[in-house]
Structures are given as structure tokens and as C-alpha cells.
Amino acid sequence: MPWLSVVQARKAESVGDGVEIRGWVRTRRDSKGGFSFLEINDGSCMGNLQVIVPAELGNYQSEVLKLGAGCSVVVEGELKASPAKGQATELAARSVRVLGWADPVAYPMQKKGHTFEFLRTQAHLRARTNTFGAVARVRNRICDSIHSFFQEKGFLLVHTPIITGSDCEGAGQMFRVTTLDPANTPRLPDGAVDYSRDFFGKPTHLTVSGQLEGETYACSLGRIYTFGPTFRAENSNTARHLAEFWMIEPEAAFFTLLENMDLAESFLRRIASDVLEHCSEDLDFFVERIDKTARAALTQLATVPFRRISYTEAVRLLENSGESFEYPVRWGIDLQSEHERWLTEKQFKQPIIVFDYPKEIKAFYMRLNDDGKTVRAMDVLVPRVGEIIGGSQREERLDVLEARMRECHLDPEAYWWYLDLRRYGTVPHAGFGLGLERLVQMVTGMANIRDVIPFPRTPQSAEF
């Protein structure tokens, strides 16, 4: 008998087939007419398969009547057209085999309507709920879409290192990687830690971005992208920050900021339309249960051209907004979440790209504009989430880059290999980083970033 997933078995064209289903019981209802209904889910889709179990089955009394949420079963039977609303098929069981029991008193997922806070303490089981199943499927679809988009556009996937000897963002919020014993650290005569005795013979950290290494391949192979875990030791306990998140970073030789913006825009558009096309059932759920604007926001992302404004223009709009912000606005400040939200939610009501930021608030590698004050940076801001993409055209002029590094208190010597790209055959190039989890938040409407990654890492929290 063929083993069908629930998503296959729910299709009308499967009616009449003898099939086997393997999954977990969501609910059991017993009818007075001498049979029971089981709702079976196997994660292949949001919907359950309704199974009708006749009392004649040999283990009906001894086992079927004891089944409850979380038990795993293999059911054989015939798929029939279902008279019930909301499902095309149902399974008339000929046998129900129990693989694993779940004690109804102890099983934490027995009850419906747990808070997301509680479910975070049950990260190993929460994927069995509708919400986390849907998030996982949408996240998977987005990843598929990311690879398809870049592969079709001729971008090469490059694996940049996770352990790194350089700091890309220059912000010093890195996790140290060491094999030195904290209780017995080797010291130099002046008391400083002797890193020559450490595993790599120098200080190393978990990467905050694959960009610098990505640039080396872009300046050889033309167009590349990285997609990997990224680590930031910033102590921000917000609904948009993780200590470990996944970032997609394309980098393209001969691209200017304009082409970079076009790339970011068509990239997000493609992901939005793929999700709309392939995750309709999960989206229905998000609209109904999480955020009623989720589908409209996605449709807008897929169809409406982003508004593009300079940082200077954005600051002018904020200054004239008449709003009283917690962080007062003036030219030169880093835009705060409240400012980003006002721009995207109140002023433009759509995704925007802000470009040409003051150099003081951006990283050393961004290309200096002729005004000497701003750099060729761009941030993509979306309603509800704020910044989901940060990128720039890179400084390709050796002397300007070295000067910027010194301004940022970075030692050009330590970045000798990065500077070599400017010494030998330098070219204009650009790229950006998209935070996967912020994108999943935007697509699903999930309010907290900890609920769109399977095992969130945040300050004081790494249980699993």
C-alpha cells in the first residue's frame, strides 16, 4: 500500500486509492454511531487528514479509544470523498497501528492556546503546533526561493568562514572563539593575554558577516552570494534581534549602488511572489490568527515599486512630521526603529530604500560620496519590521579606504588581504545582507523574531 503524505492524501484526485498514512494524532472524537474520528497531521501541510476508525477494528477498544494528541500512528485504509466542509477527502481506516504513545497528562502540547512565551520553553515540541509548523514551511520556501533567484541570475554560492580573524562591521560585538582555559589564561609579561598560545595563534571570533571574504570571490568570479549563520554579541533584548541569525549576502563586481538597489528589490519581490504562490494555506492561517494584513503586505511587496529616498530627505520628513519621538531627530543620528516605522508605516505605507547615510554611522568599507560626508549605503525598510536589508557600494579606492579605516580606528595592516583587492585590479562593486529571520517575520506577521527560528539564541537563553 503506498505511503502518502497528508498533503497528497488531502487532494481530491487521491479518492479511491488504498493508502497508508503516517503521522501524529491531533485530536480524537468518538461518535455514538460506533466509530471514532482521528485528525492526523504529518507536517506536510497545515491541514489534517480526517480518519474514520470503525469500532470493528481489533484494537479499537484496547488502543484506538486511548489515542490522544501527540500519539504517532500508521493508518491504512481507503481515501473517500469527504462530505465535511473544508476537506476534499477522508480516510476510512482498515487498520490503525500505534507507534508511540503520549501521556495526555504530561504531554505539554496537549492543550491548545499556549502563549508564545510558554512555547519558547518547549522549542523541541513547538513545531508540532499549527503556528510553528506554518513558520517552518514558509521559512523553507523562502530559502528555496533565495537559492533559485540567485542561481538563475548567475550568482555563485560561496561558503565563507564562520570562524574569522577580522571584524567586518567594526562594531566590536563579536563572540570570541578560543581554546584557552579561562581559569588559567597564558599571559605576556605585561599582563595581556598571550594569544600566540591560542588555537589559531591569534584572536578569533564568530563571524558577524561573510561580506569581506565574499568580496574576494566577487572580485574574481563576478557575482556571488553567501547564506550562512551570523553571530552578534549585542545585548539587545528586542523582538528583532538574535545573537545567532542567518544572513544572505550577495556581492557583485561592477555593480554600483543603483544596481544593488535594483537587485535587492527584485530579490524581495521574487520571494514574496513565491510565498504567495506556494504557501497559500499557511498564509491563510497567518492572516486569520497572527496578522490580518500579512497577505496584503506580501502582495504589496511583490508588486509595488519601493520608494527610494536619501537619508537627508528621510531626516527632513521626520523633522517635519510633527511627531514627538523618544529619540529626537537631527541630521547625523542613526535612525531608530520608531523612525523607520514612521517612514514605512505612516509616511509611505510601503517598503522604502534609504540611501546615502552619514559616514559616521556606517561601516568603514562603504564608498565615500563626493560630499565627503555621506557614504553609498542603502537600507531597505519595511512596515512592521523596519530594516531587513543593509548594503552598500564598496570603497574601491585604496587610499580612501585606508584613510577611512584609520578614521574608524582599524589597523589597515590587519586587513592587508582585503586591501589587496584594491591593489590588484580594483573594480567598483556592491552588495547587501538580508536577515532571513526579519524577512520571515515580515512575511508571516510574527511579532517576535524568537518565534521564526527553531532554536533562538538571545542574551541569557540557549537551553536547547
Residues of this chain that interact with Mg ion (CB under 5 A) are: 390
Distances (CA, A) of 73 to 22, 25, 41, 51: 6, 7, 10, 11
For β-strands 49-54 and 3-4, DSSP reports them as unpaired
Pick between residue 91 and residue 366 the one whose CB is nearest to Mg ion.
366
Residue 241 binds: one of ligand 4AD, Mg ion, none (C-beta under 5 to 8 A by kind): ligand 4AD
Q: What strands, in cross-sheet order, belong to the sheet with 176-177?
A: 163-164, 204-206, 176-177
245 φ/ψ angles, rounded to the nearest 5 degrees: -140, 175
Supply the minimum distance, in Å, between the C-beta of residue 138 and ligand 4AD.
17
Supply the minimum distance, in Å, between the C-beta of residue 162 and ligand 4AD.
14
Residue 245 binds: one of Mg ion, ligand 4AD, none (C-beta under 5 to 8 A by kind): ligand 4AD
Pick between residue 23 and residue 435 the one whose CB is nearest to ligand 4AD.
435
How many residues are there in the chain? Answer: 464
Q: Please check whether residue 383 is in contact with residue 343, taking contact to mean a CB–CB distance below 8 angstroms.
A: no
The binding site for ligand 4AD (CB under 6 A) comprises 168-169, 209, 211, 232, 241-242, 245, 247, 249, 387-392, 431-433, 435, 437-438
- Strand-pairing partners, residue 256, are none
What is the three-class DSSP state of 284? Answer: helix
DSSP assignment letter at 128: G
Pick between residue 168 and residue 275 the one whose CB is nearest to ligand 4AD.
168
Residue 231 binds: one of Mg ion, ligand 4AD, none (C-beta under 5 to 8 A by kind): none
Residues 6+ apart with CB under 8 A from 227: 143, 146, 147, 157, 246, 247, 248, 249
Residue 145 binds: one of Mg ion, ligand 4AD, none (C-beta under 5 to 8 A by kind): none
Residue 247 binds: one of Mg ion, ligand 4AD, none (C-beta under 5 to 8 A by kind): ligand 4AD
Pick between residue 214 and residue 390 the one whose CB is nearest to Mg ion.
390
Residue 109 binds: one of ligand 4AD, Mg ion, none (C-beta under 5 to 8 A by kind): none
Supply the minimum distance, in Å, between the C-beta of residue 387 and ligand 4AD.
5
Pick between residue 390 and residue 445 the one whose CB is nearest to Mg ion.
390
- Strand-pairing partners, residue 29, are 37
CA angle, corner 84, sides to 80 and 89, nearest 5? 30
Residue 432 binds: one of ligand 4AD, Mg ion, none (C-beta under 5 to 8 A by kind): ligand 4AD
Pick between residue 47 and residue 435 the one whose CB is nearest to ligand 4AD.
435
Pick between residue 383 and residue 390 the one whose CB is nearest to Mg ion.
390
What is the three-class DSSP state of 429? Answer: strand
Task: Provide the 10 A C-beta neighbour count for residue 301.
Answer: 24
